[in-house]
Every structure is written in C-alpha cells, then in structure tokens.
Chain A
C-alpha cells in the first residue's frame, strides 16, 4: 500500500528535457516556479501555462502520469481555491446566504489560484520525472560547490542525499513488511483513538529503527571496503556537461520572462 507513491519518480525516456544538464533543469524549474508567482494576471499566467504544457509534451512522458500526480493532491487544490472564493469580494455579487457571499471576483480568483498551483506541481513533476535522483543530487552538489570555499562540507551533504534516495524505496518496502507481520499478530492500526493509534505505531517504528541502524553499519563497512575516504581525490563517472540544448532552454526561458513582464505591465 505504501508502494503507490508516484510523486518524485523518474520515468526514463529519450527526450530533449531528459538530456538537459540537471543543473540547468534545476535552475529553470526554480525560475518557472518564480514566474508562476510573479505572473499576476490571466494573460501572463496563461503564457506560463502554455510554456509548461509545451515542456510537458517535450518530455515524451504520457500525460496521464502528470494527471495522476495532480489527482493525489486534488483536495489541496480544491481547498485553496474554495478559500479564495470567500476571501475576495470584488465584482458583482452572485450568491449570498447568511454570511456566505460569493462574488465574480472570488470565482476568478479561485480559478487563478487553482491554475497557479497546478502549474507549480506540473513544473516540479517535470523535474523529478525527467531527472534521476542521482543527477539531481549531483546538480545540487555542483551548484552548492562555491559554499565549500567558506568551509561547508558540500560533498558529505551530497553523499547523504544520495544514500537517502537509495534507501527510501528499501525502507518503504521494509515498513510494508513489518506492518504486515504485526498485523498478522493482530495489531490494529486502523481503529481506536489518537493515543491508541500512536501506541500502535511503536511495533512498527522500533523494528524499523533497529533495522535501519543495522543497515547503516553494514553500508558503512561496505563503503569503507570500496575505498571510500571522503570527497578528497574522488572522481566521477558522470560529469555534468552543459550543451547546446541548455543554451536553447535558457534563451526560451528568458523570452518567457520578457513575455510575462510585458503582459503584466500592459494588460
């Protein structure tokens, strides 16, 4: 049951976006997220939306994968939108009942907010769907590198992230097994009040902790056996290289930014 987490998973495909340098992808994702926030009218947000859809198509990943991600947080989008309906009191009054008043402005605002959230999710999904976790950590390590000049250990940080990513699926699988094993002994995890529910977590948490510590020890041994001695003198199989595609992508994002600014000002 814990295996159904699709968000944050890599989908292999041979596309323009997949082949981009992860550092550029990461920076551009940030840029697009910022754009979605600075676009403050429908025209400029629409431009961001068009661009996002174009990128989605470029990834060659079936669109239903993106829909699936949206579906999981549909409730969240709905709540944010609904809150805005009541919050905004511009435009003409459409409906009123007691203290509840809905204005056209509210509806528009709700749609605007919903579109913005959907875009944010799609943009980040593109990043995680088209980039392996390893390249992502490599990108972060590379982008953080300047910090090592001021004494921050960026290599260890990146190594920690890699190991975390490597072990998340293993631990999910393990949690699943432990839960089944305790259920087989009659553990009831669904019913009961809050205290009972918290208590029912202990038979799962403790074995998980114990096994994680054991795994950590074994992994440390295995890493030492493979001559790991920190980041010093370490080379990499995969070296991130920016290419022509990254230049093209950067230019398109700059054009997009100009478009948003113009639409924000003139419409």
Chain B
C-alpha cells in the first residue's frame, strides 16, 4: 500500500500567551494509506481535531513533518496543491457554506482553482450528484435540513476532486436521519469513488464502519487496529471516556461474569449469532 498522509515525529502546541503553551500533540507518528478508510476516535480535547487541521496545512507543526503524497505542508509552495488534494469537512455545515445558492457554493473551490467555466459546470454537477443533492442545486442553503446542508458542504469539497477527504466530526450537530445520510455518503466516497477517507469522530458506531480505527487520548495514539480488534479492548476505551457498541459491551459483560465466547463481536448480527450458539450449546449439554 502506498502511504498518502505521513505524520512524522510531530509536535504541536497552542500558545495562550508568550510563555504559556498547551501541548496538544507530541512526537506523534501516523501513516494513512492511499484509498483506505481510517477513523480517528477520541473524546473532546484528545487532539483529534487539531490533527485534521495539520493534514492540510491550516496549522503547521512546531517540529516534525506532515507529508501529503510526499509533499511537506510547511512548504508555502505546496499549500494550494495540498489543499486541493486533502479536502476538509467540518462539524457545523452552516459555517462552511459561502454562497447563497447551492450550486454556486459547490463551485467555490474549483472557482478558486481557476478552472474554465465548462469544467466548473461538470465538477459542480458531478459533485452534487455524488451526494444526491443535484435536485437542490438552485436552492438556498439556509432552507435545507442539517443533513442536506452537510451534504452540500461535502459536495463543495468533492468538486475540488481531492485524493483524500478528512471529516472532522461531520455528524455531531445532526439528527439521526442526517447522520445516516452523511455516513452513507462517506462510505460511498471510499468504496465507490476510491477516495482516501479520514473520519474524526467520537461516535463509536461510525468508527466501527471504517477499515482501521485509531484511538487517541491526550495527544497520543493508544490503539490502532481493525474495528474488531480495537473495540475488543473495552476496558481501555472506557478508561478514556469512549463508548463501545452495545453488542460488544453485552458480550464483554457476559465474559467478565465468566461465560466464555471465542470471538469478539461488533454488530447486532454477530452478537445474535454468538448468543444463539451459546444457547444451542447449552441445550446439547443437557
């Protein structure tokens, strides 16, 4: 696999004043492969949102490096190229939409990149179709629902045709319906459109849909593996204030009470299967 984002020995702190600095990340390393879907899970203040802004040069490291496709974000020359290739979607859709008409907002990124009008039209139409908002292209963003607005914001990023899209808690302000809509788009971007996706979130059920889950606490990575392997570490996740999926937690509690299960479960189906097997085994014993 080819690395797309490489974070090498990175340290970053916010300065409150001249002397006072709050360290956010120290000696941090992370590599994200091209075409992968990685979830970064952590509670508020774990440093995960700072990471997003370091990925496209919105923030620069105090020391260490962030390389995007081999290009250093600290080099001023690379910055437009990097931002074109690493799109960022934020939490509040209202504060990402610039224009008063949906399609004009989606065009904003490509317009900044100076594409000719026909190319703008193609990109806008394709991006809106990708998020299922093409029918709303002439609408005013402020009249849309939260989930629809966030999809418009995502289309605005897709229209730049980036290699990678980083989502910084994209569903935190949405209702369940909106969350589902946005998650569907995220999955589609990775699976159908082969985009590299980084999903920063504190919802474990969203992280569970990724290929790889990175858990952060206090600016450090405390777990980095497949969703099954990560969520199996129930104690660890709880100790840093994170949830585990209900099926995982149920099996965990039963195990703790002395009932043996040979596999870790993540989904309802897996849990159902494990429990059914247990019940049937018991019947055989009798």
Report A's interface with B, CB cutoff 8 A.
10, 12, 132-134, 162-163, 165-166, 169-170, 173, 214-215, 218-219, 221-229, 233-239
CB contacts (< 8 Å) of A214 on chain B: these are 95
Minimum CB–CB distance for B139 against chain A, Å: 9
Give the residue among B95, B96, B115 with the most A Cβ atoms within 10 A.
Answer: B95
For the complex, what is the distance from the CA of A225 to the CA of B164, rounded to whole Å?
Answer: 13
6 other A-B residue contacts (CB within 8 Å) besides A166-B100, A227-B113:
A134-B104, A166-B141, A170-B142, A225-B88, A233-B114, A235-B120
- A239 touching B100 by the CB < 8 A rule? no
Our count of residue pairs bridging A and B at CB distance below 8 angstroms stands at: 100
B37-74 CB contact bits vs A (8 Å, 1 = yes)? 00000000000000001001010000000000000000
- A229 touching B100 by the CB < 8 A rule? no
B84 at the interface (CB under 8 A from A): yes
- B96 touching A162 by the CB < 8 A rule? no
Can you give 16 A-B contacts (C-beta < 8 A)? A134-B101, A169-B142, A170-B94, A215-B94, A219-B98, A221-B53, A221-B58, A222-B98, A225-B87, A226-B108, A226-B156, A227-B80, A228-B112, A236-B120, A237-B120, A237-B121
Q: Taking CB as reference atom, which chain B residue is nearest A10?
A: B140
For the complex, what is the distance from the CA of A223 to the CA of B111, rounded to whole Å?
Answer: 12
For the complex, what is the distance from the CA of A233 to the CA of B112, rounded to whole Å?
Answer: 7
Dominant SS among interface residues on chain A: helix
- B112 touching A166 by the CB < 8 A rule? no
- A229 touching B142 by the CB < 8 A rule? no
Q: Which of B141-176 contact A (CB under 8 A)?
A: 141-142, 153, 156-157, 160
A235-B115 contact given A227-B160, A229-B80, CB 8 Å threshold: yes
- B99 touching A227 by the CB < 8 A rule? no
- B98 touching A218 by the CB < 8 A rule? no
- A235 touching B117 by the CB < 8 A rule? yes
Q: Taking CB as reference atom, which chain A residue is nearest B109?
A: A226
B252 at the interface (CB under 8 A from A): no
Minimum CB–CB distance for B34 against chain A, Å: 20
B124 at the interface (CB under 8 A from A): yes
- A239 touching B117 by the CB < 8 A rule? yes
- B111 touching A237 by the CB < 8 A rule? yes
- B99 touching A162 by the CB < 8 A rule? yes
Minimum CB–CB distance for B147 against chain A, Å: 17
B103 at the interface (CB under 8 A from A): yes
- A228 touching B108 by the CB < 8 A rule? yes
Q: Taking CB as reference atom, which chain B residue is nearest A215?
A: B95
- B99 touching A218 by the CB < 8 A rule? no
- A222 touching B96 by the CB < 8 A rule? yes
